Structure 1
Amino acid sequence: MTASSAAFATATDASSPGKDHFVVLDGLRGVAALMVVLFHLFEPYALGNPQVQIINHGYLAVDFFFLLSGFVIAYAYDDRWGRMGTLEFFKRRIVRLQPMVILGSVIGAALFALQASPVFPKMADASAMQVILVMVLGFLMIPLPKSGDVRGWDEIYPLNGPAWSLFYEYIANALYALGVRKLSHRALAVLVALSACALVYLLVFGPRGDVIGGWALDASGIQIGLTRVMFPFFAGVLMMRLRMKVRMPHAFAVASALLVVAISLPRFGGLDRLWLNGLYEAACIVLLFPLIVAIGAGDKAAGGVSIRIARFFGDLSFPLYITHYPLIYIYTAWVSDGQVTPVEGALSGAALLVAAVAIAYASLKLYDEPVRRWLAAKLLRRS
């Protein structure tokens, strides 16, 4: 399995009163979420070979989400620490993120029984109690070792793989709240620079030439996960503090086009020059993605049809990201049976995309928003 989706805790904090809303950034988050779903739809046809993957760099959406998240977290909270404690911060993040994490785990458990296939070698050995236990541990964001993986893909959340990125999102949030928020601009810049060096080293000199990984609870998986989150998240914080913005007309269209093209380009270098692909991905994460966020942050007065679309998919982005993958498990098993014609694959993929968006929208309106309002009233003090 390739580096699944994305770390998506990048949701704008809805409880930040009196502040302008970055609608373009919300829209970009929605664009990235849609690209993640498309990446996963094409993934079974690559048969585990990243050289032929369509929408080849779709996993970079995770790194883009981390960057957005750092920017938004700093915008929402940097000026609130005098009247907000660390516990209050963590409660706000849990209220924002955990309801959908729980629902994603429930959906994953509910669809688990439909996924019997040679693609998932350990599923036949999983009992109902094991699945329930894995689901509950997923509610609590407790990562599982390989011995607890009921699916056999070495995922720390085997019922809903993309939740791995939320695990590292929470780590970055904790580092921010417990210390990084207190750093001066210069000290934060040093941290970001060192994190960039670690990221570039992984990409250019690592064994793969890409950032794929982070969902396994082993030394390599943890290294990749931490390396992926540290630079973009804290680069986003630094960008917000330095007010890094680029003003241009049609900001949403320009930034979306840059993001889609960067994620969709073929892999570079082939098997003989893996470093070349690593260099490309390093340029995307370290240079291009900050530019895209700066363009999005430079237009808060956006309007028109495109921005209404951006707002819709921005609201939908986190539910779409965290609920779509159980459908992908089933789709992957079906495609991997090897008896799917191109027409059948295209039609079923389109139907899955529509279903994923519909499930995400229903989850947002019928569950996520009401539950967050209720939790906020119960747990959060008024700002």
Structure 2
Amino acid sequence: MSTPARAIRPRGESPSGTGPAATGEIRSLTGLRAVAATWVVLYHFSFTPGVGYDGYWEPLRPVIRAGATGVDLFFVLSGFVITLTYLERVGRTPSVRQAGTFLWARICRIWPVYAVVTAVYGAWLVAKATQVTDGNVAYQTVQPVLDVGNFLLQFTLVQLWWHPASGGESWMGSAWSISAEWLAYVAFPLVALLLWRIRNAPLVLLGATAVAVMVPLGYTTYVHGGPVIAWSWLLRIGAAFVAGALTCLVVRRIRRTPRVEQAAASCALAATGAVAVGLWWGDWRGIDNDHSAFGGIVVVFFPVLVGALALSRTGLSGLLSRDALVHGGRISFGLYLVHIPVFEVFWTLMGWWPKIAVGTSLWALLLVPVLLSTFVLAHLAHVFVEEPARLRLRRLWPQQQRPAVVPVRAAATLAGPRLPGPRVDTPLAVASAQGRAARSADATAPVPDRRAGWLSA
């Protein structure tokens, strides 16, 4: 899908179905992205006037109420896949060129569709500003500033970097996390130097640290009902991204045997159960309907969940690897970007047009189509903007040509002592080597980048 190399199997499985494809995509984690994106979308949709926790929504209240926590799950996933994809390239032989190539790859992935949505939604805000008299052009407590300077800040993804609070700095309320993740990308070449040097630390220490770095975020949520303190956005991206990166260091060194896969599948289910219990507790504690998300304490289980899913293929991992969920994960970036503009336009028109005001028949008829339209638009954005633009932009800065790679097991035999790095018999190492071999067949083609999807919400 992202390269003309014919040897790549798009379904994410080897011909025998026994290991990852040459792209190295971990389908269960891609499917988890779809779940996280839908979680955030439903949370924001619950703010639609007239839509309350009743009827079909009531059983989902503990989950929806903590929907903002889906952003932290995205950050953990991002740290994991960025480390999996780029650690050896950026951390083993650090250079300005490698750092620049990495950052350009990230720009190619996240900027095109972000720029389109920002421009279109910005035009809507400007038009709406001419129609309202109270100055409220966006559904945010702090209203965004609509001028050329702030437009440039939005376009360069740095609008949040020097502000202690995330509200009002982004024209789209959810775009704060894109700005935060861009900061993590800029810092990754330096972070990778440290990750490379600790990659062989004891697995127990790395795993325990991955969970421990999420504890301050969980504690803040426990005390305040959400990460609402000053610079909490920096705590969220910093803790979750590092937790995901450390989880990757653990997973890439574990050989996936049947016993390991069975244990990982059980661990994934246990982590999911712990998340469910935490969300139920958070809903019970915040029953006053003040939208406090005490259930966000479940962030401490996210590194465990991500690592377990990466090591298993059955159970929850098998479910998340279904084609529909994997496609949902691939369009999740567009979904995260378009849903807020769609909802806010709908909310505005509800106030302007009496025919679709709260409680009318037409309003009730439009609720489901409006929600589903975000998924349709996300698919269209992925097909017609995200992928074509990424491929064209990548040609402007082609990857450095790599020599052909000997199959990983043979290379390990012929090369003598193994260089420091991931175990050559782990599935992640095999997938990485296969991906490099496939790319070498056409050095001028854009490098497959599916593993390191945007992974932000």
Same fold flag (TM > 0.5): yes
Structure 1 residue 370: Cα displacement: 0.7
Tell me how far apart the structure 2 counterparts of residues 73 and 350 of structure 1 sit (CA, whole Å).
Answer: 35
Select 1:90's aligned residue among 99, 103, 107: 103
- Tell me if the contact between 1:192 and 1:234 (Cα under 8 Å) persists in the aligned partners: yes
Structure 1 residue 121: Cα displacement: 2.1
Question: Structure 1, residues 171-214: CA drift from partner, whole Å, max 9, x if none?
Answer: 22233222354242559779756643432342233xx3213x5x
Aligned to 1:286: 300
- Which structure has the bigger radius of gyration? 2
Tell me how far apart the structure 2 counterparts of residues 292 and 46 of structure 1 sit (CA, whole Å).
Answer: 35
Q: Which one-letter code corresponds to 1:325 in the other structure? A: I
Structure 1 residue 308: Cα displacement: 1.0
1:36 paired with 2:40, answer: yes
1:363 paired with 2:381, answer: yes
Q: How does 1:101-250 map onto structure 2 within 5 Å? A: 101-112=114-125, 113-114=127-128, 116=131, 121=136, 130=146, 134-143=150-159, 154-158=167-171, 160-183=172-195, 184-185=198-199, 192=210, 195-205=213-223, 208-211=224-227, 213=228, 220-221=229-230, 223-243=231-251, 247-248=261-262
Q: What TM-score, normalized by structure 1, do the two folds share?
A: 0.73
Q: Secondary structure at the match of 1:168?
A: helix
Aligned to 2:398: 380
Question: Structure 1, residues 35-70: CA drift from partner, whole Å, max 9, x if none?
Answer: 222211112348999xx9941011011000001001
Q: Structure 1 pair 247/189, CA: closer, same or farther in 2 (3 Å)? A: closer
Tell me how far apart the structure 2 counterparts of residues 75 and 371 of structure 1 sit (CA, whole Å).
Answer: 24
- Tell me if the contact between 1:172 and 1:229 (Cα under 8 Å) persists in the aligned partners: yes
Tell me how far apart the structure 1 counterparts of residues 136 and 79 of structure 2 sit (CA, whole Å).
Answer: 38
Structure 1 residue 248: Cα displacement: 4.7
Q: Which one-letter code corresponds to 2:340 in the other structure? A: Y
Q: Secondary structure at the match of 1:43?
A: coil
Q: What TM-score, normalized by structure 2, do the two folds share?
A: 0.62
Tell me how far apart the structure 2 counterparts of residues 240 and 271 of structure 1 sit (CA, whole Å).
Answer: 37
Q: Which one-letter code corresponds to 1:242 in the other structure? A: V
**What's the C-alpha RMSD, in Å, of the aligned pairs?**
4.3
Aligned to 1:14: none
Q: Secondary structure at the match of 2:100?
A: helix
Q: Secondary structure at the match of 1:155?
A: coil
Q: Structure 1 pair 143/107, CA: closer, same or farther in 2 (3 Å)? A: same
Structure 1 residue 225: Cα displacement: 0.1
Question: Structure 1, residues 270-310: CA drift from partner, whole Å, max 9, x if none?
Answer: 379x9x964x422x1012x2232123212469779961112
What is the identity percentage for the equivalent residue pairs of Structure 1 and Structure 2? 25
Q: Structure 1 pair 365/256, CA: closer, same or farther in 2 (3 Å)? A: farther
Tell me how far apart the structure 1 counterparts of residues 348 and 324 of structure 2 sit (CA, whole Å).
Answer: 33
- Tell me if the contact between 1:172 and 1:230 (Cα under 8 Å) persists in the aligned partners: yes
Q: Structure 1 pair 37/163, CA: closer, same or farther in 2 (3 Å)? A: same
Q: Which one-letter code corresponds to 1:165 in the other structure? A: S
Tell me how far apart the structure 1 counterparts of residues 364 and 35 of structure 2 sit (CA, whole Å).
Answer: 21
Aligned to 2:435: none
Q: Structure 1 pair 348/48, CA: closer, same or farther in 2 (3 Å)? A: closer
Tell me how far apart the structure 1 counterparts of residues 378 and 274 of structure 2 sit (CA, whole Å).
Answer: 22
Unaligned runs of 5+ in 1: 1-16, 124-128, 148-152, 214-219
